[in-house]
Structure 1
Amino acid sequence: MSGLPSIGAGGGGVQQILALRQQIIARNDLLREIHTAQAANQTSAPQGQTDGFASSLQHALNGVSAVQQRSEDLSVAYEKGEVTDVAKVMLARQEAGVAFEATLQVRNKLLSAYQDIMRMGV
C-alpha cells in the first residue's frame, strides 16, 4: 500500500484526485472541440466553391438519414444479440429522434416562410 497516495487528515490525496479529475475533464473537452472542428472541416465545402441552399438542405437530409439508418442497424443488432450495450442502442435511437424533430422544425419554418412570401403584395 506504500505505492498508493494516502488520504490523510489534510486531504492532500483528495485534492490531488480532484486536480487530476479537472485535468482529465479539460483534456476531454479539448479533444471534443478538436474532433468537432475536424468534422466541420471535412463536411464544409472547399474554398472557392459555394453550395446552394438546395445542396445544403440535401446534405443535411442525408445526414439525418444516416443517423436513422445507424439507429436502425443498432436496434436490429441488439434484437439479434450481436450488440449487448443497451445504452449505446438507446443513445442512437434518441439521436435519431432528435435529428428527425430538428428536421421537422426546419421544414415547418421553411413552409411558414414560403406561405408568408406568397401572402405578400407586390
Structure 2
Amino acid sequence: MNGVGAIGASMGTVQQIMQMRAELIERSATLRELHRAQPVSPQGAPGIVGAPGAVQPAGASFAATLEAALDGVNATQTRSNQVTEAYERGEVTDIASVMLARQEAGVAFEATLQVRNKLLNAYQEIMRMGV
C-alpha cells in the first residue's frame, strides 16, 4: 500500500471529522441558547427533588419540603403539556424540545412515584412494629 495514498485518504477523513465537529459545536451552542431562554422556576430545576435551589431552610417541616417537591413536579408536567399543545398547534417546530420536556416530566413523575413507594413502605414497617 502506498503511504502517500493512505495519508491523502486520511486527510479527507480528517476534514470530514473537522466539519462534523464544527457542526456539533454549532448545534451545542444553539441548544445552550435555547436552554438559557427557557424559564427556570425559583426552586431550581423543576420536578427534581434534589435540586440545589429546592433545599428548604433548616427547621422547615417535612410536609413543606414534600409540598415544594410536588409543586416542582406539577410545574414540570404543566410545562410539558404546554409545550406539547404548542407543538400540536404548530407554534413550536422543535420536536427535540417537546420530547425533552416530556421526558423531563416523565422522569420527575417516576421519581415522585418512587418516593411515594418508599414512604408507603416505611409507614407499613412502622405500623408492623410492636409497642
TM-score by length of 2: 0.60
Residue 114 of structure 2 is aligned to residue 105 of structure 1: yes
Q: Deviations over 1:19-42 (max 9, x none)?
A: xx9xx9xxxxxxxxxxxxx94664
Aligned to 2:80: 71
* Identity percentage of aligned residues: 65
Q: Distance in 2 between matches of 1:96 and 1:44?
A: 20
TM-score by length of 1: 0.64
Q: 2:97 aligns with which of 67, 88, 95?
A: 88
- Checking the alignment, whether the CA contact within 8 Å between 2:80 and 2:102 is kept in structure 1 is yes
Unaligned runs of 5+ in 2: 1-6, 8-13, 26-42, 45-50
Q: Distance in 2 between matches of 1:45 and 1:114?
A: 23
Structure number with greater CO (CA < 8 Å, separation at least 6) is: 2
Q: Distance in 2 between matches of 1:91 and 1:64?
A: 15
Q: 2:60 aligns with which of 47, 51, 54?
A: 51
Unaligned runs of 5+ in 1: 1-8, 25-37
Consecutive aligned runs of 4 or more in structure 1 exceeding 4 Å deviation: none
Q: Which residue type is aligned with residue 104 of structure 1?
A: L
- Checking the alignment, whether the CA contact within 8 Å between 2:80 and 2:101 is kept in structure 1 is yes
Q: Distance in 2 between matches of 1:116 and 1:85?
A: 47
Q: Which residue type is aligned with residue 93 of structure 2?
A: T
